[in-house]
Structure formats: C-alpha cells, structure tokens
Amino acid sequence: MLALLAFHAAAFEGSQQREGVTLTSRDPGDALDATMRGRIIETFFSAYLRERADFHPGAPTQARIVIDPAYDGVAFVGEGDGAATITINPGWLARHPDDVDLVTHEAMHIVQGYPEYANERVPGWLVEGIADYARDRYGRDNAAAGWALPTAVKDGQRFDTGYRVTGAFLKWSEGQHPGLVKALDAALREGHYGPALWTQRTGMALPALWAAYVKTR
C-alpha cells in the first residue's frame, strides 16, 4: 500500500516599517521567491514614500501587499483588514519578471485615495493617467520591463484614452505648466475636479491643450 504524502507550500507573511509607513506582505502560497519578494517590497517603499510626500502626506501609513494566484489580472488596489491593499497576480510576475514597477502604479492609487472612481467628478481615464505619470516619474527600473510613456500619438487616441497615453500628455502638460498634476490630484481627492480646472491652470480648455500637445508629437 502506498503512503500518500501531501505537500503544502509554506505561507509567507512579514512586515517592515520605513519613515512612518508600515507595509505588511502576505504570500499565502509562497508563490514568489525571496528575491522577487524583496524587489517588490523595495519598489513599494521607493515609490510610495516619495509619491506620498509629493502628493498627499496624509495618505495611509498602513499598507498591505497580497500575492494571490487566484487573481487573473495584473494588480489592483482595494481594502483589506483596515489597510490599503495591493493584490498582485504572481503569474504575471512569472511571465514578466522585470515588471516590478507595476507596484509604483498601484502605490500611487493608494496615495490618490479618491472618494469615487469612473464618473464625472473622478474620471477613470485621469485617475489611471496620473498613476502612469507617477510610474514614469518614480519607477525604479521601467526600462528593464520595456515600459515607457509613448512619444507619439496614434490615430484615435485622445486625452481621455487613459493609462500611458494620458500619462504622456500629463507629463508634457506638467512641463508646460508646473504644478498642474498636483492640482488635478488634489481636486480629484477633494471633490472639486471639473474640466474648468484645466483652463484655470493652463489658460487653455482641455481639448485645445490636447491639440497643442499633439502638434509636438
């Protein structure tokens, strides 16, 4: 008679604190090796501490990273056990081992902490555009992942395309009008965002600003 042995992956859980921010990391299935886990943690602190200082010093001081093989996306931010939580699909990291700056994007979502999402007061395209603007600005090694903001505008793209397209537009707009992105971020968090803010900060309506950007591309 054969003895059947069951092997269970050891769960990992750890906590680190830096500059008043505590990060708890949970990998229930031990899906990441120690090197990758360390890279994820270092990337979080490198990005979050600067994003928080620059955009929202009152952002949470408690955060969690959970590695979840059952999640089939890339990563997302939610709430768990009273802390802002970044959930990451380890399968994505297995296929894209250099894409650790996905944490930089998600860390910015914690900093944003907007009360709503994907409506007129808090447009989803702008939320994600700011997060990719932050990934470009605070990322540790985007080049290794082959990740960059686009340098050209393709047919059909608009200011509200979102993610990298909007991120590149924001980077250019910030260069022309310093302080714009921080003003947009604050307005979204405080519930004061509206299209008129673009005109107030740049002297141009949003479509006209986009048209000026496109001419540079």
Domain 13-113: top CATH class? mainly alpha
Domain residue ranges of the chain, discontinuous segments joined by +: 13-113, 115-217
CA pair distance 77, 85, nearest whole angstrom: 5
Name the residue among 120, 139, 129, 111 with its Cα closest to residue 172.
129
Taking the whole predicted model, whether its pTM rises above 0.75 is answered as yes
How would you write the pLDDT of the chain (217 residues) with one tens digit per residue?
333 333 345 789 999 999 999 999 999 999 999 999 999 999 999 999 999 999 999 999 999 999 999 999 999 999 877 799 999 999 999 999 999 999 999 999 999 999 999 999 999 999 999 999 999 999 999 999 999 999 999 999 999 999 999 999 999 999 999 999 999 999 999 999 999 999 999 999 999 999 999 999 9
Q: 83-88 and 62-67: which strand pairing?
A: parallel
Q: How far apart, in whole angstroms, are the C-alpha atoms of residue 73 and residue 51?
A: 24
Whether the CB-CB separation of 39 and 97 falls below 8 Å is answered with: no
Q: In what order do the strands lie in the sheet with 12-18?
A: 12-18, 21-27, 62-67, 83-88, 75-80
